Amino acid sequence: MQDSLSFDITHKLDGTLARAGVIHTPHGDIKTPAYIVGGTKATVKALTPEQVSGLGGQAVLANTYHLMLRPGADIVQQAGGLGKFMNWQGPTFTDSGGFQVFSLGVAYKKGIDAVAHTEKGDADNANASKDQLVKVTEHGAFFRSHLDGSKLEMTPESSMELQHKIAADIHMAFDECPAPLAPRQYLEESLGRTHAWAERCLERHQTLNSAHAETGQPQQALFGVVQGARKEDLRRASAQFLGERDFDGYGLGGIFEPGEIPSVVRWVNETLPENKPRHLLGMGSQPADLFLGVEYGIDTFDCIAPTRQARNGAIYTYGGRINIKNQQYKTDFTPIDTDCACYTCVNYTRAYINHLFRADEILGATLASIHNEYFVVHTVDRIRDSLIDNTFFDYKKSFLLRYYKDNLPAGVTL
């Protein structure tokens, strides 16, 4: 077992920013590009860790904010860290809790896209809503728990302390994720705050890693998080600023509209150092996102959408997404997808899974989640293979035309 993170690039795709490689962590290697399975509260909803491993998941990502609330970072630390606590043997990530600055603030009760703010903005923009549960200052974020209303505080330093207690292999620096259409002045202020917080995160992280070294514990890695909304100059400036600091890799944060990945991700990855891994935070609810992210230089993704959609009966297939609860599947005794080799497709039929959902049986969510996670994980695995054997564009075209037919998402070119 190695005690720190390293990254090797093994293949590059000419004419693009795409690459294949390996991230080496203290708890195993991650072959990239890779889809990182969302395990928000130290669990992948409806699945056991053994099922996640069995479907091909290489790593899981948990949420610092939620683990801070329940069960508490101290308890995760007493259990031996995130991996031991949830019985996951492979590499682990944590995000910083920074997205909650956004989702409990300007976006609270408004929907996650936060498009309520126009370029002109509201009178007091990001911190005026009487409903929001967070206040942002230069020092950090001051929360009221969405669970019980208790007062909470998160700063760059406390985020690092929490993440080191949770003890994932890869952490994200504490950042602010502003509404993407907030006024330019606020976006600039927010970006300056994110950069100042990043430096404070890095300083505290390095101190904590020094303490780990003294006790023989593995080093934990820290990714700086690039912000800048939909502004090219801000995104490039953020990538430049963070790229000049001693981070182990980089996360790309923010809220994207359909079709924005090719531009925003390209701006960032053209500017960041080439020799460090890049993670696209919370992105991958559409298969097209995976191809676009890889093509423009992303190494890893995470998203909770596959299991969330599965629990609602929305199932990915190679011919497009279906709603397994629909009447037409009541007597369909074929697998969800005849081209899929997941546990669900090998053993169960659409009719049975339709029955489970209609009967409100928990097993329906489990079988659907196994399939959706397998679908996304293996799509990225095949993308990786196509980079290695130089068939990426052929695979991208055949997959996307089959999945979307004549309704390709915005920003997708074949």
Longest CA–CA span in the chain (Å) reads 63
DSSP state of 56: T
DSSP state of 218: P
Residues 6+ apart with CB under 8 A from 30: 22, 23, 36, 58, 59, 91, 300
**Residues that are catalytic:** 95, 302
DSSP state of 244: T
Q: What angle do CA 306, 311, 316 make, to 5 degrees?
A: 45
Backbone angles phi, psi at 16, to 5 degrees: -135, 180
Residues 6+ apart with CB under 8 A from 25: 2, 5, 59, 91, 169, 170, 221
DSSP codes of every residue in 95-110: E-SHHHHHHTTTTTTT
Angle between helices 287-295 and 362-388 (to 10 degrees): 30
Single out the residue of 196, 64, 202 nearest to residue 138, CA to CA: 196
